[in-house]
């Protein structure tokens, strides 16, 4: 039989039970307060971090545009048509204020030959009001002499070769077989066009008044652009000696190789709007229908062969095509076997065309040689 108890007979909560309930509520309140405090601190920290990030971005932008203004300042001096920056009134240290920022510009003149060609680099450091710095680098690739094709020792055409443009040498210019020159052929002082061959030249054949002196190249410092490792051999040469290999030089700027080798329909691609300068310390050899610079824009590709210890060779053969400007003050240059060259070719040794090779002056080889050709700037820092 179940016994029912009266509510009054049930035991009332003890004092410890009541205190436990109140303690639980108090603990929950404290936990909530801690969580709210942590969230508040996090939000304040995030806001502060965002403010700092925005401030850094503003400082970086100020420094960048100050450095860019420094490059434009140097370019304006370069365009004054003086032989050197100093002749144009350039004084270093060259420091200027732009708004709340500053820039400091340093110029290194690397090449200034008697025909007015110029090679120099400009380093501009922009400094924001908070001290943030950005460094921009600008260089001119060599500015070709008033000659599409130049061989210091002599220039020789043999076979059915031909040239369109300005041909010059410090020695003789020899035309053998049915070779022809559409343009001027200017031998060196005291030297001549080969006997009886003036009829094969459409322009002047009068010797130059003085020899042209090629100045050694000074390779600018880093940074350098890079190519994927599979296109380089163990010695650091650009090696495209496999069938249909193609490398794209996607960034404007300077590239450094110990040699260049292309064959079997391989190619170097320079996208539209990109301008590259390659400094090569060794031989350059192309053949087998290879194409150097598939854009066909000679002004977008410049090759400086920098070797000074011994004579190196530039060999274009086997139906290969080259679109660009080459400055090789210590190289013999040979075009043969239906190779085609478009641009300008300046060689410190001999320049020889054989077989059915052709040369066509192309790109910026202006009458006013004092105007420099600027490569795109490169951010260093």
- From first to last of the 381 residues of the chain, give the pLDDT tens digit: 455 555 555 555 555 455 555 667 776 767 777 777 777 766 666 655 555 566 678 888 888 888 888 888 887 787 665 667 777 788 888 999 988 899 999 887 754 443 445 567 788 898 988 888 888 777 664 444 456 899 999 999 998 998 998 899 999 999 998 899 998 999 999 999 987 788 889 998 999 888 887 777 878 778 889 999 999 999 999 999 987 889 999 988 889 999 999 998 999 999 988 888 899 999 999 999 999 999 998 888 989 898 765 556 889 998 899 999 888 888 899 999 899 999 889 898 999 999 899 999 887 643 334 444 455 455 555
Pair (222, 305) in one structural domain: yes
Q: What is the pLDDT of residue 366?
A: 38
How many structural domains compose the chain?
2
- Whether this model's pTM surpasses 0.85: no
* pLDDT on residue 47: 57
Q: How far is Cα 33 from Cα 74, in angstroms, rounded to an integer?
A: 62
What's the token pair of residue 156?
Answer: 């020789």
In a shared domain, residues 162 and 290 = yes
Same-domain status, 139 and 166: no
pLDDT value for 23: 61
Do residue 184 and residue 326 come from a single domain? yes
Position 257 scores a pLDDT of: 95
Locate all alpha helices (DSSP H) within 79-120, ordered by sequence: none
Regarding whether 262 and 166 lie in a shared domain, the answer is yes
Q: Which residue segment(s) compose the domain that 62 sits in?
A: 58-143+373-379
Q: Tell whether 132 and 184 lie within a shared domain.
A: no
Q: Is residue 3 part of a domain?
A: no
| 36 assigned to some structural domain | no
Residue 72 sits in the same domain as residue 118: yes
Other residues' Cβ atoms within 10 Å of the Cβ of residue 161: 26
Query: What's the pLDDT score for residue 284?
Result: 93
Is-contact 376 356, C-beta < 8 A?
A: no
- Cα 279 to Cα 38, 102, 159, 268, 339, distances in angstroms: 58, 32, 32, 15, 22
Please indicate, yes or no, whether residues 268 and 162 belong to a single structural domain of this protein: yes
* 85 and 219 co-located in one domain: no
* Res 370: pLDDT: 41
Residue 303 lies in a domain: yes
pLDDT of residue 364: 60
The reply to whether 95 and 226 lie within a common domain is no
Does 82 fall in a domain? yes
Asked if residue 257 and residue 126 are part of one domain, the reply reads: no
């Amino acid at each position: 039989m179940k016994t029912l108890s009266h509510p009054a007979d049930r035991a009332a909560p003890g004092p410890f039970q009541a205190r436990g309930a109140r303690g639980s509520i108090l603990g929950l309140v404290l936990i909530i307060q801690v969580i709210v405090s942590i969230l508040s601190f996090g939000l304040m920290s995030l806001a502060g971090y965002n403010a700092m990030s925005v401030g850094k971005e503003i400082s970086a932008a100020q420094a960048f545009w100050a450095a860019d203004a420094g490059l434009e300042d140097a370019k304006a001096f370069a365009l004054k048509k003086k032989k050197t920056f100093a002749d144009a009134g350039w004084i270093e240290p060259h420091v200027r204020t732009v708004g709340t920022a500053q820039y400091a510009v340093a110029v290194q003149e690397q090449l200034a030959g008697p025909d007015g060609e110029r090679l120099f680099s400009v380093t501009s450091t922009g400094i924001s009001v908070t001290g943030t710095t950005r460094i921009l680098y600008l260089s001119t690739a060599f500015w070709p002499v008033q000659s599409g094709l130049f061989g210091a020792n002599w220039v020789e055409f043999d076979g059915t070769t031909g040239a369109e443009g300005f041909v010059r040498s410090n020695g003789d210019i020899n035309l053998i077989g049915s070779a022809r020159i559409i343009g001027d052929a200017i031998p060196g002082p005291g030297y001549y066009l080969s006997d009886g061959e003036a009829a094969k030249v459409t322009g002047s054949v009068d010797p130059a008044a003085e020899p042209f002196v090629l100045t050694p190249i000074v390779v600018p410092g880093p940074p350098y652009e890079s190519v994927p490792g599979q296109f380089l051999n163990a010695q650091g040469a650009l090696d495209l000696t496999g069938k249909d290999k193609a490398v794209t030089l996607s960034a404007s700027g300077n590239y450094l190789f110990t040699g260049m080798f292309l064959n079997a329909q391989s190619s170097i691609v320079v996208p539209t709007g990109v301008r590259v300068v390659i400094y090569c310390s060794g031989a350059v050899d192309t053949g087998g229908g290879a194409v150097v610079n598939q854009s066909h824009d000679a002004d977008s590709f410049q090759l400086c062969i920098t070797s000074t210890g011994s004579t190196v060779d530039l060999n274009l053969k086997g139906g290969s095509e080259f679109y660009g400007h080459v400055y090789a003050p210590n190289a013999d240059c040979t075009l043969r076997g239906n190779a085609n060259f478009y641009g300008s070719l300046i060689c410190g040794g001999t320049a020889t065309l054989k077989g059915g090779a052709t040369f066509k002056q192309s790109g910026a080889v202006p009458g006013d040689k004092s105007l420099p050709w600027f490569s795109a700037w490169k951010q260093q820092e």
